[in-house]
Structure 1
Amino acid sequence: MAENQVVVDGEIIHCIGCGAKVQTNDKQALGYTPKSALEKGLASGEVYCQRCFRLRHYNEIAPVSLSDDDFLKLLTSISDTDSLIVYVVDIFDVNGSMIPGLHRFVGDNPVLLVGNKLDVLPVSLKKNKVKDWLRQRANAAGIRPIDVDLISAKTNQDVDHLLDQIEKYRKGKDVYVVGVTNVGKSTLINSVVKQSTGIQELITTSRFPGTTLDRIDIPLKDGKHLVDTPGIIQPEQMAHHLVGKELNLVTPQKRIKPKEYQLNPEQTLFFGGVARFDYRAGDRKYGFTVYAENNLYIHRTKLSNADGFYTKHVGHLLTPPSQEHVADFPALEAHEFKTTQKSDLVIEGLGWITVPSGVSIVGWAPKGVAVLLRPAMI
């Protein structure tokens, strides 16, 4: 929560739309209002936070974050409802976008798992394989989804199908949309609103009554609501270690074009300065296929030179992080594996490298960012 609450004549100013305490410091926190808008609001006697202003004038859901404690309180309240849970995760950062212990908070409510950012999947990747893998990851986290859907909120791809799925599974109940920050949840909500208005008229978009500081209730035709909940901050996401334009060089922006590298044992690939892949040992030279943001700089070097090369060039040749950000960027941690089948080495939030069977490899990522091995998806 932001600390610089606006106080006038000894009284804390609240947004008249949602009741949040108005603040001008943190754009991602509740109650944020630009100083210029605050001055106009104080003059008129109607102060709205930016989130409510966008909602009121543009039918636009703006992202907002809650602290872990506040979010857990909200999750606990969901378990007391009779509703459908739409759980949104990022296809390219599944581990980082999982909500720890979600299964304990949703109670007996059914969960529809939605993988977002379908538009950046390589053409060669089959949707059914992605669905199966997502279901397996959810099961490992203790979640048993009633179904798995893949969409692109950014391009509206398959959002109409998701609407059909929501209507199929909610059975006259309220719908809660949950997810961590940076998974595109608010983009999805906005896409649902626009898509529904033009196609199925599932959602009434003229007004959004019931707006509170921790949720937005979007009325459905039958009197129930689609509830947008604030995103919880997941510090293990790769995105939280990057700033500004750095994020666009790591997070896929368009459909990924796979790149193949012929590597001998004891060779290394650097992914800018945010990750690293070592081919430690194997019988021979192999082809390794990289699935990552098309504009991310990838540099090949000898394993024996890798540590010194990184120290010398991070923030310069190896970017992101930028030179200004190097001092604050976490050290890369090593994760060692030996494959027994064709596999994908996944660096969550970055992408993956497809590797052959019978090789010793190491994936490096910022401390706290997950690196894992899975059966090859392609």
Structure 2
Amino acid sequence: MDEAYWCEGCGVELQTENPDRPGYVPPAALKREHVICKRCFRIRHYNEVTPMEADPDEVLSMLREIGEKEALVVQVVDLFDFTGSWIPGIQRHTGGNPILILGNKLDLFPKSAKVQRLKEWVYRSAKELGVKPAEVVLTSAAKGYRLDEVVEAIDKQRQGRDVYVVGTANVGKSTLINRLLKEFGDGEESITTSPYPGTTLDTIHIPLDDGKEIVDMPGILRRDRMSEWVDPKELKAIIPDQEIKPKVYQLNDGQTLFFGGLARMDYIEGERQPFVCSVANSLYIHRTKLEKAEEIWVKHRGELLIPPEEPDSLPPLRRHSFHLNGTQKQDLVISGLGWIATGKARGQVDLWVPEGVRVEIRPSIL
């Protein structure tokens, strides 16, 4: 190949020499109008699991380049995993460019959820993380919710500048851009999307009518999310793709909830109160007595308690203790998995998650 070509699906430079390396296409495929690499073709047509990661240092280097340009930065965050999908220190990488936050996956929340309250929560959370957003828009790339608001906000905030779309892996950046292209562009899906981390391997440039462009950046991987540790074939069991149906458990102290074989919550001390679990509908939750918990965990993990089918694929569990303040409902958040909303009673709860997975407690968002 004397001339350089890039895959329209993931942005990687194409090559015709080695089928086992990124960017491979058969030579004849270069004659097509829309060229995608072998990996993107397999993902699109066969949903094949082909995990591959963009180099984190290279992605951060690309991110820093934004700070040297006049641009609008659109950070896509996952409303279902806000803190886990945030780019740490994003304001240090993007200079003084304005940041528009698009809260994606609104469709996962119950229809009773108050959108304005969620939006205010995103504003507050962003400010606590050091960013004063130019604007916050909530949307669903998968369902096409509020796309008019997304387009209007981007057009208003970019003021004739390029637009850089950034986010961590699996927040739905490429799905969002594809939806916008379908609704307001040429009607064709261009960017490969999948539930696997690292689908977009390099920057993808989409020209705008005024000579500027939208740039889709590779997703940044965060190792502190449960979804980064689960085998790609089991991701669908923990990443929700439809409205969550919260599961309510009235617990006395001395009871335990297992979330598949991934995590465990022990209610150590406190009055009887509800614990409302917002996780993927397909994830199995098992309730038992605390005194039996260890025996059940050892005996049934990988069989009754799945995923994972291979428990040794995850790091050992680490305990995190939380005191419930008894003044408000609180969310116990397991990054990349979901959260458990408590009642208003005082109590002590232990969360057990694989070493390195982020957990936190926050005022309830619903």
TM-score (norm 1): 0.82
| Residue aligning to 1:308 | 295
Alignment partners' CA distance in 2, 1:300 and 1:184? 33
Secondary structure (helix, strand or coil) at the match of 2:23 reads coil
Which amino acid in structure 2 is aligned with residue 356 of structure 1? G
Deviations 1:19-53 (A, max 9, x none): 72645447xxxx433xxx436459x7999651898
| Residue aligning to 2:147 | 159
TM-score (norm 2): 0.84
- In 2, are the aligned partners of 1:88 and 1:116 still within 8 Å (CA)? yes
- In 2, are the aligned partners of 1:241 and 1:329 still within 8 Å (CA)? yes
Alignment partners' CA distance in 2, 1:253 and 1:206? 19
| Residue aligning to 2:315 | 330
Matched, 1:318 2:310: no
Which amino acid in structure 2 is aligned with residue 16 of structure 1? Y
- For the structure 1 residues 218 and 337, does the alpha-carbon distance in structure 2 shift closer, same or farther, using more than 3 Å as the test? same
Q: Aligned-residue CA RMSD in angstroms? A: 3.2
Matched, 1:347 2:338: no
- For the structure 1 residues 371 and 213, does the alpha-carbon distance in structure 2 shift closer, same or farther, using more than 3 Å as the test? closer
Quote how far apart the aligned CAs of 1:240 are. 1.5
Any residues of structure 2 matched to 1:45-64 within 5 Å, and which?
Answer: 50=37
| Residue aligning to 1:200 | none
Quote how far apart the aligned CAs of 1:255 are. 0.4
- In 2, are the aligned partners of 1:118 and 1:150 still within 8 Å (CA)? yes
Deviations 1:321-375 (A, max 9, x none): 01xx222122222211111132111112221111123111122222222111111
| Residue aligning to 1:32 | 23
- For the structure 1 residues 292 and 40, does the alpha-carbon distance in structure 2 shift closer, same or farther, using more than 3 Å as the test? same
- For the structure 1 residues 339 and 41, does the alpha-carbon distance in structure 2 shift closer, same or farther, using more than 3 Å as the test? same
Alignment partners' CA distance in 2, 1:218 and 1:227? 6
Question: Structure 1, unaligned stretches of length 5 or more?
Answer: 1-11, 55-62, 198-202
- In 2, are the aligned partners of 1:276 and 1:363 still within 8 Å (CA)? yes
Matched, 1:20 2:9: no
Percent sequence identity is 42
**Quick one: which of 211, 217, 227 aligns to 1:223?**
211
- For the structure 1 residues 315 and 267, does the alpha-carbon distance in structure 2 shift closer, same or farther, using more than 3 Å as the test? same
Secondary structure (helix, strand or coil) at the match of 1:172 reads coil
| Residue aligning to 1:174 | 162
Alignment partners' CA distance in 1, 2:37 and 2:83? 31
- In 2, are the aligned partners of 1:38 and 1:47 still within 8 Å (CA)? no
Alignment partners' CA distance in 1, 2:107 and 2:233? 20
Deviations 1:244-293 (A, max 9, x none): 442111111210111111111010000111111111101x2212111111
Alignment partners' CA distance in 2, 1:141 and 1:295? 32
**Quick one: which of 258, 272, 276 aligns to 1:285?**
272
| Residue aligning to 1:249 | 237
| Residue aligning to 2:182 | 194
- For the structure 1 residues 14 and 335, does the alpha-carbon distance in structure 2 shift closer, same or farther, using more than 3 Å as the test? farther
Alignment partners' CA distance in 1, 2:39 and 2:285? 42
Matched, 1:79 2:67: yes
- For the structure 1 residues 45 and 218, does the alpha-carbon distance in structure 2 shift closer, same or farther, using more than 3 Å as the test? closer
Matched, 1:102 2:93: no
Secondary structure (helix, strand or coil) at the match of 1:359 reads strand
Quote how far apart the aligned CAs of 1:96 are. 2.1
| Residue aligning to 1:130 | 118
Alignment partners' CA distance in 2, 1:221 and 1:91? 31
Alignment partners' CA distance in 2, 1:125 and 1:183? 20
Secondary structure (helix, strand or coil) at the match of 2:209 reads coil
| Residue aligning to 1:183 | 171
Which amino acid in structure 1 is aligned with residue 291 of structure 2? S
